[in-house]
């Protein structure tokens, strides 16, 4: 346990001093403020854009539109930034050889994986909660609130996908070599999931649904039960990725 | 008691054998120097002792316990300094040592106390800068402080002095001698003078095996050449001396380079006097007369020939 | 009909945050001057002209190792 807290502390310190915290918190705050604002300003923005002399008529934006923007921002830019920021999570430590001394001091290799995951997850959760808080405050101020279904679960789905991404990234970094190996493999994995979803319509198990059905959940157009299943499956996948990462890392030549 | 026992270690990288039936042991409270050319497999051997590399065959025991590849519990006995230690550059020396101390199982207070003892020892006391601005020597000294945190039974230093300037090398060697009062040191290098300075026993790694293994003084005795070196004032005198020495029966061989004559002979203590007789009979003045000590370099070159 | 300027109080904090990101990246560039690839000029352009994503790219893959 000593090793875990010591290494977790080191990870968090690294995130602070290597600007990861600065980036994630400010981007989250920006997304939180920008999403409701963009939704609100959309008619005005479009009013200024004249397409072939015609003025576009846009219906008055609603409470839901703010969430549309929020989920758009987070599921695309947000995930890309998450990947970029944590791309070197383990690879960098391995490539530079900085893990050798801590391991020689008796740090368990399992602990390395778990502490790294925990630190990344803490940072992702903090940023996400910050974004939600700001977003919700702005949305309540700018729009007339209406009752929506499964708001918490919908937000949770996106968080879970972020957690899934981090676990896959960690696993990919253990398997590959080089500073960006993990990042490429994870990106490739996402590509495969995307192909499964858009071309083969493999919907029932696909974790990508966690970031594509959020608004549908709010408006009641998505099947809650199916998404709940996917959430459980994703949870299991996270666990599997971490266990695999630990098993492979244990036997890795340093 | 042997702190470290390496038995019949084999290691291939692909088909290329790096270590071939390597066996040696390091007794408690000694300073063991592992010597070898670059690429002889010193680092490989040390990484296997740390459980970072999997041996193709053989076994390693540290303090009587088997070393397991991957997570090995034997590392709690060991302090390890890699050839080029890499630190987290965004930390200060104190923060880094605090992390290491906690990892190794010391309590927070114990670690603080230990850091207070170690920082002055390695000359990093009061330095609050982050590690990325440290010089190579400072990093190496921080590396040694890190190894000593948990008072290890065995200190393993891989090429600790190779990348340093003479001043930095002396500092590290002095530190290792001090550390050796309380622990056993195993230290690899290709700089022979460093070994002569602090080691009491050595192993010479050559072609995957220990070509030589034992106490430094004993090895020097075994390889003692019975030789005398005489320097005259000028070359003409040296040439004259050479001629006269050739005539003597107990002389095995004589060589001259400029004004120095090197003589191999039986029983230099007794027969040396006869050489001095020749010098005085022929009125050859000398600058220097010395019995040649075998240097580790000569032994080294002799063995790997 | 509202105008974009009416939302100014809401826009200011966003712009401020973007500036903070850009400026911290700029300061880092000027103080360290080592990059994994590209040169100082390119990075200053990227950081100042690509809001949000510029500084992120710089901090995550552009800046050199701490030496």
Residue A50 banded pLDDT, cuts 50, 70, 90 = low
d(CA A55, CA C5) in angstroms, rounded, equals: 20
Task: Respond yes or no on whether ipTM tops 0.95.
Answer: no
Q: How is domain B227-303 classified at the CATH fold level?
A: Alpha-Beta Plaits (3.30.70)
| pLDDT 10s digits, A175-218 | 988 778 888 999 999 999 988 888 877 778 889 999 999 999 98
Pair A101, B82: CB distance under 8 Å: yes
Residues of chain B in Cβ contact (below 8 Å) with chain A: 47, 50, 52-54, 69-71, 73, 75-76, 78-80, 82, 84-88, 90-91, 95, 98-100, 102-105, 143, 146, 149-150
Cα B53 versus chain centre, distance: 23
Q: How far apart are CA B152 and CA A105, in angstroms?
A: 10
> Is C67 within 8 Å of chain B by CB?
yes
Which residues from C are below 8 Å from B90, CB to CB? 66
Alpha-carbon distance A37 to nearest alpha carbon in chain C (angstroms): 8
Residues of A in contact with B95 (CB under 8 A): 13
A touches which chains (3+ CB pairs under 8 A)?
Answer: B, C
What's the rounded Cα separation, in Å, for the pair A248 and A185?
16
Tokens standing for B177? Answer: 């001698």
Residue C64 at interface with chain A, using a CB cutoff of 8 Å: no
Nearest CA distance, A115 vs chain B (angstrom):
12
Q: What is the DSSP letter of B295?
A: P
Q: Which residues of chain B have pLDDT under 50?
A: none
Name the minimum distance, in Å, from the CA of A94 to any CA of chain B: 11
The two structure tokens encoding residue B20? 């071939």
Three-class secondary structure assignment of A84-129: HHHCCCCHHHHHHCCCHHHHHCCCCHHHHHHHHHHHHHHHHHHHHH
C26 touches chain A (CB under 8 A): no
CB-count burial class (<10 Å; 0-12, 13-18, 19+) for A30: buried
pLDDT confidence band for A44 (50 / 70 / 90): confident
Chain C residues with CB-CB distance to B135 below 8 A: none
The residue among B181, A142, A232 whose CA lies nearest residue C9 is A142
Q: Which residues does chain C have within 8 Å of residue A77's beta carbon, measured at their own beta carbons?
A: 53
pLDDT of residue A5: 95
User: What is residue A208's DSSP assignment?
Assistant: G
Tell me the shortest Cα–Cα distance from B14 to chain A, in angstroms. 14
Tokens 């670690």 belong to which residue? Answer: B111
Tell if the CB–CB gap between C28 and A33 is shorter than 8 Å.
no
> Distance between CA atoms of B44 and B31, rounded to whole angstroms?
20
- Greatest Cα-to-Cα distance within chain C, rounded to the nearest angstrom: 56
Closest by Cβ to B105, choosing from A2, A101, A102: A2
CATH class of B2-222: alpha beta
Q: Do C52 and A30 touch (CB under 8 A)?
A: yes
Neighbours of chain C (3+ CB pairs under 8 A): A, B
Q: Which residues contact A44 (CB under 8 A, 6 or more apart)?
A: C1, C2, C3, C4
A29 lies within 8 A of chain C by CB: yes
Q: For residues B224 and B266, is the Cβ–Cβ distance under 8 A? A: no
- Is B74:B63 a contact under the CB 8 Å cutoff? yes
Res A172: pLDDT:
95
How close does chain C come to A200, measured CA to CA in Å?
33
pLDDT of residue C4: 63
Residues in chain C within 8 Å Cβ distance of B89: 65-67
Whether the per-residue pLDDT at A29 is higher than 70: the answer is: yes
Bridge partners of residue B6, in order along the sequence? B24, B60
Q: How far from A164 is each of A138, A207, C53, CA to CA, in Å?
A: 28, 8, 23
DSSP notation for B164-198 = S-HHHHHHHHHHHHHHTTTSEEEEEES-HHHHHHH
Q: Which residues of chain C fall below pLDDT 50?
A: 1, 67
pLDDT digits (tens, 9 = 90+) for A119-165: 999 999 999 999 999 999 999 999 988 888 889 999 999 999 999 99
Question: What are the boundaries of each domain within chain B?
Answer: 2-222, 227-303
Domain ranges of chain C: 9-62
- In percent, the amount of chain A with pLDDT more than 90 equals 65
**Do the Cβ atoms of A207 and A237 come closer than 8 Å?**
yes
- Give the pLDDT score at C2: 56
pLDDT at A120: 97
Min mean pLDDT across A10-14, A102-106, B255-259, C10-14 is at B255-259
> Which residues of chain B lie closer than 8 angstroms to C65, CB-CB?
89, 132
Q: Give pLDDT, residue B193.
A: 84
Say if the Cβ atoms of B91 and A6 lie within 8 Å: no
Tell me the pairing of strands B209-215 and B201-206. antiparallel
CB contact under 8 A, A101 and B149: no
């Amino acid at each position: 346990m000593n090793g875990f807290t010591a290494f977790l502390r080191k990870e968090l310190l690294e995130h602070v001093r290597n600007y990861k915290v600065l980036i994630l918190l400010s981007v989250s705050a920006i997304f939180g403020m920008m999403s409701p604002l963009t939704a609100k300003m959309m008619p005005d923005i479009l009013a200024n854009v004249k397409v072939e002399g015609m003025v576009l008529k846009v219906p008055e934006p609603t409470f839901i539109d703010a969430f549309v923007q929020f989920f758009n921002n987070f599921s695309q830019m947000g995930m890309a930034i998450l990947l970029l920021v944590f791309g070197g999570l383990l690879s960098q430590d391995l490539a530079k050889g900085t893990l050798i001394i801590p391991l020689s001091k008796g740090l368990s290799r399992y602990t390395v994986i778990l502490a790294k995951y925990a630190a990344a997850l803490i940072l992702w959760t903090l940023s996400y909660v910050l974004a939600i808080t700001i977003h919700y405050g702005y949305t309540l101020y700018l729009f007339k609130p209406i009752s929506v279904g499964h708001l918490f679960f919908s937000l949770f789905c996106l968080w879970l996908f972020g957690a899934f991404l981090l676990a896959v990234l960690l696993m990919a970094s253990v398997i590959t070599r080089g500073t960006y190996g993990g990042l490429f493999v994870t990106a490739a994995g996402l590509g495969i999931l995307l192909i499964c979803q858009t071309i083969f319509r493999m919907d029932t198990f696909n974790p990508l649904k966690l970031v594509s059905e959020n608004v549908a959940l709010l408006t009641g157009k998505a099947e809650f039960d199916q998404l709940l299943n996917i959430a459980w499956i994703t949870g299991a996948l996270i666990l599997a990725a971490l266990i695999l990462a630990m098993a492979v890392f244990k036997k890795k030549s340093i | 008691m042997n702190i470290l026992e390496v038995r019949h270690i084999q290691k291939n990288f692909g088909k290329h054998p790096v270590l071939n039936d390597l066996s040696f042991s390091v007794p408690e409270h000694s300073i063991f120097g592992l010597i070898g050319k670059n690429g002889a497999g010193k680092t490989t051997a040390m990484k296997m002792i740390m459980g970072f590399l999997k041996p193709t065959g053989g076994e390693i025991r540290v303090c009587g316990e088997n070393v397991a590849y991957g997570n090995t519990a034997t590392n709690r006995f060991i302090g390890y300094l890699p050839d080029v230690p890499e630190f987290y550059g965004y930390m200060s020396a104190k923060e880094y040592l605090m992390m290491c101390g906690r990892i190794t199982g010391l309590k927070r207070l114990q670690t603080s106390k230990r850091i207070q003892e170690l920082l002055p020892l390695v000359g990093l006391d009061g330095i609050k800068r982050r590690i990325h601005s440290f010089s190579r020597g400072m990093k190496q000294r921080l590396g040694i402080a890190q190894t000593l945190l948990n008072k290890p039974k065995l200190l393993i230093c891989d090429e600790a002095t190779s990348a340093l300037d003479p001043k930095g090398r002396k500092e590290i060697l002095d530190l290792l001698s001090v550390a050796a009062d309380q622990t056993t040191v195993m230290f690899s290098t290709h700089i022979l003078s460093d070994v002569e300075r602090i080691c009491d026993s050595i192993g010479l790694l050559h072609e995957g095996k220990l070509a030589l293994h034992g106490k430094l003084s004993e090895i020097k005795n075994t390889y003692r050449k019975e030789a005398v070196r005489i320097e005259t004032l000028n070359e003409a005198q040296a040439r004259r001396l050479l001629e006269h020495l050739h005539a003597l029966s107990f002389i095995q061989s004589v060589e001259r380079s400029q004004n120095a004559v090197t003589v191999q002979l039986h029983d230099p203590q007794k027969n040396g006097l006869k050489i001095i007789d020749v010098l005085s009979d022929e009125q050859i003045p000398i600058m220097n007369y010395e019995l040649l000590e075998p240097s580790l370099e000569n032994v080294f070159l002799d063995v790997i020939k | 009909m509202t105008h974009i300027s009416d939302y100014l109080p809401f826009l200011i904090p966003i712009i401020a945050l973007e500036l903070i990101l850009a400026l911290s990246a700029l300061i880092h560039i000027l103080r360290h001057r080592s990059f994994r690839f590209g040169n100082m000029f390119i990075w200053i352009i990227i950081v100042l002209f690509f809001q949000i994503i510029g500084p992120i790219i710089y901090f995550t893959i552009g800046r050199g190792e701490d030496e």
